[in-house]
Structure 1
Amino acid sequence: MQKKSILPMVILIISPILMILSVMLSIVYGAKSIDTETIVHAFTNFDAGNVNHQIIVYSRIPRAIGALLVGGFLGISGAMMQGMTRNYLASPSIMGVSDGSAFVITMAMIFYPGLGSMEMIVVSFVGSLIGLVIVFGIASALPNGFSPVKLALIGTIIGAFLSSLSAALANYFQVSQDISFWYNARLHQLTPTLINIAIPAAIIGLTGAFALSKSVTILSLGEDIAKGLGQNTKVIKALGMIVVAVLTGTSVALVGKIGFVGLVIPHITRFIVGVDYKWIIPCSGVIGAVFLVLCDVISRFMNYPFETPIGVITSLVGVPFFLYLIRKKGGEKHV
């Protein structure tokens, strides 16, 4: 127990170093080879006429920072969902949150094609919330609907339905190419402007997650225990759902759908730091951030010189982990 009480502090203390190293790795390695001296000059003596400097400043840096943000958001979202529902299979990609976000973005692009980046983030947030409400609404109406496997099945079915409906509508209204970004994550399309626009949503979502961390720990002990300790579980769950929707919606608006980060990272984090969400939530953010940056680096070299979609890399980790969880824990409702 003493070891686990020290590890979270160690992770958070060294987190800036881990994130800086992962970002440096992402900046150095890419489809085009750029020497270290040029990279340093791009930071210290930027030349707008130098193509390599432009690649570093306008492409690789936003891409690395975006991967950090999205990995952190998804890791935290998954941790909160698993803690609030006591469901080890809960995650934004499995519970229909990401698909709800992409579906509403598709609707916005069809009927309101002139929306700006900030409006898209708001639209994406609303879609995430709709996806959550649909999945949890159906689960609450079914016998034992909140059991891990059944909830995962509901989320997968709703996600597949929303994804198929989006594709059908996009084909009908001839916007398939425009929405392909949100269904096939493309970190390389991130820009400094997009990241700056996402910062307010990030601050709101992260502040809410950290503020709710103690309540999520209590809720993870079971709803009866939480109520016995005086917790208003409905309010906590509602606030938690909003936080998850903000973080996931911002992620989808920035880079599109990326699966399995929110499933895998909280489990790894709990194994390292224990069961207190005061530590699980921030550590999931750090580990998720570094994990996604490293996945992005790997995606550039799996089929070099062509890039492999980052969703393929996260799936290579996530799918076996998902199957392992089902086999290991069966239908238990416990995190």
Structure 2
Amino acid sequence: MGSHRRIAQSGHVGADRSTRVAVLTVAAASAAAALGAAPAGAAPQDKPADTKAEVDRLYEQAEQATEAYNKADERADRLREELATTQDQVARGQERINKMRQALGMVAGAQYRSGGMDPSLALMLSSDPDGYLDRASTLDRLSARHAGDLSELQGAQRDLAQKRSEAQRKLADLEKSRKAVQQHKRSVETKLAKARRLLNSMPSAERDAYERASRGTGRPDLSGAGAASSSRAAAALAAAQSALGKPYVWGATGPSGFDCSGLMQWSYGQAGVGLPRTSQAQRYAGQQVPLSAAQPGDLVAYGSDAHHIGIYAGNGQVIHAPYPGAPVRYDPVGMMPVSSVTRV
């Protein structure tokens, strides 16, 4: 996140090796006061870039936590859908059993009125038909029809018990996932709050310079950028360009704000393509290509854990949602180490 402002050499052939440096001067005492870790006797101007580096590190950690939050939230949504489906199956299974038992009851009533109930039928209507069937020695007391009815009822009850057990398991998984979502949310908020406190500890001039460096430089020269790999890639890139200037909002998928993977999901959604929610999953959403072969519309993932992602715009530029305080913007593709390029 914050490290998006640091230029790092990509490990891929053809990576953009341009550098951008935001020159900041800040007293080490200010950084130490915010971090609570100043060495004794530190000089007032010792390592003036320490504050910026720490803010960058916190922003990167916050984005990693954001992607973990997105993954947990996506899993919770999936579990909610699965639980609803299973609960519906349980309800329909119970309804089926009730109808089967009702039908058998009608047969029993007819037999009773005609002179007595078949003992086997009475056992069918007992609360433990399984136990009856398990007594192999009594099977010859059942007519072929009654044996089939009872076997069907037994299977339905077993299936219902399995579905109920499955629903309980999914309900427990959902509760765990909800807790994970909240844990990652608190982690993001803690990192961002610490970064903001650290920024506020800077003298106003340095803080203003830092934040100016976070706003980007507008639209770069994209003449000769080449054609997108497909019409959907071109449409996704156009959508990302329409989001330029929108704020970074962690956990957001647009259209008024985005986190990094949220911008990619929204942009490709405008092109009619469904992408996974997280940057880690998005890097596997298509064909991997070398950075040297990147075309407009390709997804560019960063970091060994793919905690950040952008869309290639051509001429060595990507569009991405960088970090809080920095709107959707263009940046050099080599701003951080590239981990993969994916053609959707």
Fold equivalence (TM over 0.5): no
Structure 2 length-normalised TM: 0.27
Task: Flag the structure with higher helix content.
Answer: 1
TM-score by length of 1: 0.28
Could you say which structure has the larger radius of gyration?
Answer: 2
